[in-house]
Protein backbone atom coordinates (compact mmCIF):
# COMPACT_ATOMS: atom_id res chain seq x y z
CA UNK A 1 0.00 0.00 0.00
CA UNK A 2 2.74 2.49 0.95
CA UNK A 3 6.11 2.67 -0.78
CA UNK A 4 9.06 4.98 -0.14
CA UNK A 5 11.60 4.95 -2.97
CA UNK A 6 14.97 6.50 -2.09
CA UNK A 7 13.23 9.42 -0.34
CA UNK A 8 15.25 12.42 0.81
CA UNK A 9 13.90 15.46 2.62
CA UNK A 10 15.66 18.68 3.67
CA UNK A 11 14.02 21.34 5.86
CA UNK A 12 14.37 25.04 4.93
CA UNK A 13 17.06 25.48 7.62
CA UNK A 14 19.22 22.92 5.81
CA UNK A 15 18.60 20.00 8.18
CA UNK A 16 18.48 16.75 6.23
CA UNK A 17 15.73 14.74 7.92
CA UNK A 18 15.44 11.77 5.54
CA UNK A 19 18.37 10.19 3.76
CA UNK A 20 17.65 7.63 1.05
CA UNK A 21 14.68 5.98 2.77
CA UNK A 22 13.39 2.84 1.08
CA UNK A 23 10.39 1.24 2.71
CA UNK A 24 7.30 -0.81 1.90
CA UNK A 25 4.30 -1.11 4.23
CA UNK A 26 1.63 -3.62 3.32
CA UNK A 27 -2.09 -3.16 3.90
CA UNK A 28 -3.15 -4.38 7.35
CA UNK A 29 0.26 -4.16 9.02
CA UNK A 30 1.04 -2.61 12.39
CA UNK A 31 4.36 -0.78 12.08
CA UNK A 32 6.28 1.20 14.70
CA UNK A 33 8.83 3.89 13.81
CA UNK A 34 11.44 4.18 16.55
CA UNK A 35 14.67 6.09 17.06
CA UNK A 36 16.25 9.07 18.78
CA UNK A 37 14.93 12.63 18.58
CA UNK A 38 15.69 13.93 15.10
CA UNK A 39 15.84 10.41 13.62
CA UNK A 40 13.22 11.35 11.01
CA UNK A 41 10.15 9.58 12.39
CA UNK A 42 7.71 12.51 12.32
CA UNK A 43 9.08 13.71 8.99
CA UNK A 44 8.40 10.26 7.54
CA UNK A 45 4.85 10.29 8.93
CA UNK A 46 4.12 13.66 7.32
CA UNK A 47 5.06 12.22 3.93
CA UNK A 48 2.24 9.70 4.18
CA UNK A 49 -0.52 12.17 3.32
CA UNK A 50 1.48 14.75 1.42
CA UNK A 51 1.97 17.30 4.23
CA UNK A 52 5.61 17.06 3.19
CA UNK A 53 6.80 16.20 -0.32
CA UNK A 54 10.10 14.42 -1.04
CA UNK A 55 13.02 16.54 -2.22
CA UNK A 56 14.07 13.50 -4.22
CA UNK A 57 12.68 10.01 -4.62
CA UNK A 58 8.96 9.41 -4.30
CA UNK A 59 6.22 8.17 -1.97
CA UNK A 60 3.40 6.05 -3.36
CA UNK A 61 0.11 5.51 -1.52
CA UNK A 62 -2.01 2.89 -3.27
CA UNK A 63 0.10 3.52 -6.34
CA UNK A 64 -0.53 7.29 -6.27
CA UNK A 65 2.53 9.57 -6.20
CA UNK A 66 2.01 11.99 -3.28
CA UNK A 67 3.65 14.81 -5.27
CA UNK A 68 0.92 14.60 -7.88
CA UNK A 69 -2.17 14.78 -5.68
CA UNK A 70 -3.58 16.91 -2.87
CA UNK A 71 -3.37 16.53 0.89
CA UNK A 72 -7.18 16.45 1.01
CA UNK A 73 -7.28 13.52 -1.40
CA UNK A 74 -4.58 11.60 0.46
CA UNK A 75 -6.24 12.28 3.81
CA UNK A 76 -9.20 10.16 2.75
CA UNK A 77 -6.77 7.23 2.82
CA UNK A 78 -4.28 8.32 5.51
CA UNK A 79 -5.24 9.98 8.80
CA UNK A 80 -2.48 11.36 11.02
CA UNK A 81 -2.87 12.01 14.75
CA UNK A 82 -0.23 14.60 15.70
CA UNK A 83 1.84 14.47 18.88
CA UNK A 84 0.31 17.77 20.00
CA UNK A 85 -3.39 16.97 19.70
CA UNK A 86 -4.41 20.63 20.04
CA UNK A 87 -2.97 21.29 16.58
CA UNK A 88 -6.03 19.46 15.25
CA UNK A 89 -8.64 21.49 17.20
CA UNK A 90 -10.47 24.65 16.15
CA UNK A 91 -14.21 23.95 16.57
CA UNK A 92 -16.26 25.19 19.58
CA UNK A 93 -17.46 21.73 20.66
CA UNK A 94 -16.16 18.19 20.59
CA UNK A 95 -19.11 17.02 18.49
CA UNK A 96 -18.41 19.69 15.84
CA UNK A 97 -14.70 18.86 15.93
CA UNK A 98 -15.33 15.25 14.98
CA UNK A 99 -18.01 16.19 12.44
CA UNK A 100 -15.86 18.80 10.65
CA UNK A 101 -13.89 16.47 8.38
CA UNK A 102 -17.00 14.40 7.65
CA UNK A 103 -18.76 17.55 6.47
CA UNK A 104 -15.76 18.44 4.31
CA UNK A 105 -15.84 14.96 2.78
CA UNK A 106 -19.55 15.57 2.04
CA UNK A 107 -20.98 12.67 4.02
CA UNK A 108 -24.81 12.77 4.38
CA UNK A 109 -26.04 14.26 7.67
CA UNK A 110 -27.45 10.96 8.95
CA UNK A 111 -24.11 9.25 8.31
CA UNK A 112 -22.27 12.09 10.07
CA UNK A 113 -24.45 11.73 13.15
CA UNK A 114 -23.91 7.97 13.28
CA UNK A 115 -20.15 8.21 12.80
CA UNK A 116 -19.70 10.98 15.34
CA UNK A 117 -21.84 9.08 17.84
CA UNK A 118 -19.80 5.92 17.28
CA UNK A 119 -16.49 7.79 17.67
CA UNK A 120 -17.61 9.49 20.89
CA UNK A 121 -18.69 6.17 22.38
CA UNK A 122 -15.64 4.24 21.16
CA UNK A 123 -13.26 6.82 22.65
CA UNK A 124 -15.35 7.26 25.83
CA UNK A 125 -16.01 10.95 25.21
CA UNK A 126 -19.83 10.95 25.08
CA UNK A 127 -20.25 13.01 28.25
CA UNK A 128 -18.08 15.79 26.78
CA UNK A 129 -19.77 16.10 23.37
CA UNK A 130 -20.94 19.70 23.92
CA UNK A 131 -17.79 20.93 25.67
CA UNK A 132 -14.82 22.76 24.18
CA UNK A 133 -12.02 20.39 23.14
CA UNK A 134 -9.54 22.71 24.83
CA UNK A 135 -11.06 21.91 28.24
CA UNK A 136 -10.16 18.23 28.05
CA UNK A 137 -7.23 16.66 29.90
CA UNK A 138 -4.10 15.73 27.98
CA UNK A 139 -5.14 12.09 27.67
CA UNK A 140 -8.68 13.02 26.62
CA UNK A 141 -7.32 15.36 23.94
CA UNK A 142 -5.32 12.44 22.53
CA UNK A 143 -8.46 10.32 22.43
CA UNK A 144 -10.39 13.11 20.72
CA UNK A 145 -7.68 13.50 18.08
CA UNK A 146 -7.93 9.78 17.37
CA UNK A 147 -11.74 9.96 17.32
CA UNK A 148 -11.55 12.70 14.66
CA UNK A 149 -9.48 10.40 12.43
CA UNK A 150 -11.39 7.17 13.07
CA UNK A 151 -14.73 8.87 12.35
CA UNK A 152 -13.99 9.06 8.61
CA UNK A 153 -12.39 5.59 8.66
CA UNK A 154 -9.20 6.04 6.60
CA UNK A 155 -7.39 2.92 5.46
CA UNK A 156 -4.19 4.03 7.24
CA UNK A 157 -4.04 5.50 10.76
CA UNK A 158 -0.72 7.12 11.72
CA UNK A 159 -0.06 8.03 15.37
CA UNK A 160 2.76 10.38 16.41
CA UNK A 161 3.82 9.63 20.02
CA UNK A 162 0.33 8.44 21.10
CA UNK A 163 1.31 7.74 24.73
CA UNK A 164 2.55 11.23 25.62
CA UNK A 165 0.43 12.45 28.55
CA UNK A 166 -1.25 9.06 28.99
CA UNK A 167 -1.28 7.08 32.24
CA UNK A 168 -1.01 3.28 32.42
CA UNK A 169 -4.75 2.67 32.05
CA UNK A 170 -4.96 5.05 29.09
CA UNK A 171 -2.01 3.29 27.45
CA UNK A 172 -3.79 -0.05 27.83
CA UNK A 173 -6.90 1.49 26.26
CA UNK A 174 -4.77 2.83 23.41
CA UNK A 175 -3.37 -0.66 22.77
CA UNK A 176 -6.92 -2.04 22.63
CA UNK A 177 -7.94 0.69 20.18
CA UNK A 178 -4.94 0.00 17.95
CA UNK A 179 -5.66 -3.74 17.92
CA UNK A 180 -9.36 -3.24 17.23
CA UNK A 181 -8.67 -0.82 14.38
CA UNK A 182 -6.15 -3.28 12.93
CA UNK A 183 -8.65 -6.14 13.21
CA UNK A 184 -11.00 -4.00 11.14
CA UNK A 185 -8.38 -4.08 8.37
CA UNK A 186 -6.67 -0.75 9.00
CA UNK A 187 -2.96 -0.24 8.57
CA UNK A 188 -1.50 1.27 11.77
CA UNK A 189 1.76 3.24 11.79
CA UNK A 190 3.06 4.43 15.17
CA UNK A 191 5.95 6.79 15.87
CA UNK A 192 7.04 6.32 19.49
CA UNK A 193 9.90 6.41 22.02
CA UNK A 194 7.85 4.32 24.44
CA UNK A 195 9.55 0.92 24.22
CA UNK A 196 7.30 -0.70 26.83
CA UNK A 197 4.18 0.36 24.91
CA UNK A 198 5.61 -0.91 21.62
CA UNK A 199 6.80 -4.13 23.27
CA UNK A 200 3.22 -4.85 24.38
CA UNK A 201 1.93 -4.43 20.80
CA UNK A 202 4.79 -6.43 19.20
CA UNK A 203 4.57 -4.82 15.75
CA UNK A 204 7.02 -4.73 12.89
CA UNK A 205 9.62 -2.12 13.89
CA UNK A 206 11.40 0.35 11.62
CA UNK A 207 14.39 1.59 13.63
CA UNK A 208 15.69 4.95 12.41
CA UNK A 209 18.79 7.02 13.14
CA UNK A 210 19.90 10.30 11.57
CA UNK A 211 17.32 10.07 8.79
CA UNK A 212 18.12 6.50 7.77
CA UNK A 213 16.54 3.12 8.42
CA UNK A 214 19.06 1.06 10.37
CA UNK A 215 16.90 -1.98 11.16
CA UNK A 216 13.58 -3.37 9.92
CA UNK A 217 12.12 -6.44 11.52
CA UNK A 218 9.74 -7.99 14.06
CA UNK A 219 9.68 -6.55 17.59
CA UNK A 220 11.13 -9.79 19.01
CA UNK A 221 14.23 -9.23 16.87
CA UNK A 222 14.68 -5.46 17.08
CA UNK A 223 13.87 -4.91 20.76
CA UNK A 224 16.29 -7.64 21.87
CA UNK A 225 19.23 -6.09 19.99
CA UNK A 226 20.46 -4.13 23.01
CA UNK A 227 23.65 -2.64 21.44
CA UNK A 228 21.69 -1.35 18.45
CA UNK A 229 18.97 0.15 20.67
CA UNK A 230 21.64 1.94 22.68
CA UNK A 231 23.15 3.32 19.48
CA UNK A 232 19.71 4.78 18.71
CA UNK A 233 19.38 6.26 22.22
CA UNK A 234 16.66 3.80 23.24
CA UNK A 235 16.52 1.73 26.42
CA UNK A 236 15.47 -1.90 25.92
CA UNK A 237 12.15 -3.03 27.44
CA UNK A 238 12.46 -4.06 31.09
CA UNK A 239 11.79 -7.72 30.31
CA UNK A 240 14.65 -7.71 27.78
CA UNK A 241 16.99 -6.05 30.31
CA UNK A 242 16.03 -8.76 32.83
CA UNK A 243 16.57 -11.70 30.49
CA UNK A 244 19.91 -10.26 29.33
CA UNK A 245 21.12 -10.84 32.90
CA UNK A 246 20.10 -14.49 32.85
CA UNK A 247 22.71 -15.74 30.42
CA UNK A 248 24.20 -17.88 33.24
CA UNK A 249 21.00 -19.96 32.91
CA UNK A 250 21.32 -20.13 29.14
CA UNK A 251 18.46 -17.67 28.62
CA UNK A 252 19.06 -15.19 25.83
CA UNK A 253 17.50 -11.68 25.78
CA UNK A 254 13.89 -12.14 24.71
CA UNK A 255 10.60 -10.31 24.47
CA UNK A 256 8.15 -12.39 26.50
CA UNK A 257 5.65 -12.15 29.33
CA UNK A 258 6.79 -12.41 32.97
CA UNK A 259 4.92 -15.69 33.39
CA UNK A 260 6.74 -17.26 30.45
CA UNK A 261 10.11 -16.10 31.80
CA UNK A 262 9.30 -17.42 35.29
CA UNK A 263 8.40 -20.84 33.88
CA UNK A 264 11.63 -20.97 31.86
CA UNK A 265 13.74 -19.96 34.87
CA UNK A 266 12.08 -22.66 37.01
CA UNK A 267 12.62 -25.27 34.30
CA UNK A 268 16.31 -24.47 33.92
CA UNK A 269 16.95 -24.33 37.66
CA UNK A 270 15.63 -27.88 37.95
**Quick one: pLDDT at residue 189?**
98
Mean pLDDT value of segment 20-32: 97
Closest to 33 in 3D by CA, of 77, 57, 73, 2: 2
Rounded CA separation 165/124 (Å): 17
**Quick one: pLDDT at residue 247?**
80
Which CATH number applies to 1-77+156-167+180-219: 3.40.50.720, 2.30.30.60, 3.30.1180.10, 3.40.50.300?
3.40.50.300
Domain ranges of the chain: 1-77+156-167+180-219, 89-153
Output phi, psi for 232, to 5 deg. Answer: -95, 15
**Quick one: pLDDT at residue 113?**
95
Decide which of 93 and 245 is more confident.
93
**Quick one: pLDDT at residue 173?**
86
Lowest average pLDDT, out of 32-36, 189-193, 241-245, goes to 241-245
Mean pLDDT value of segment 141-151: 91
163-209 tens-digit pLDDT: 887 888 888 988 998 999 999 999 999 999 899 999 999 999 999 99
* Average pLDDT score over the chain: 92
Decide which of 64 and 166 is more confident.
64
Beta strands, E only, 72-179? 78-81, 156-160
CB-based contacts of 166, cutoff 8 Å, min separation 6: 138, 139, 142, 174
Amino acid sequence: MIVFENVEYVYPNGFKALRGVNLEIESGEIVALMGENGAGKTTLLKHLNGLLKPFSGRVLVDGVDTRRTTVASLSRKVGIVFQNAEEMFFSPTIYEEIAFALNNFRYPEDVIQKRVGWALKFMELEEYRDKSPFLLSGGEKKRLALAIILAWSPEVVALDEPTVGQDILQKEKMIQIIRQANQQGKTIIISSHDVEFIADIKPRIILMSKGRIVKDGPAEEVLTDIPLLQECSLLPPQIVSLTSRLDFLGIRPKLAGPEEIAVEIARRLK
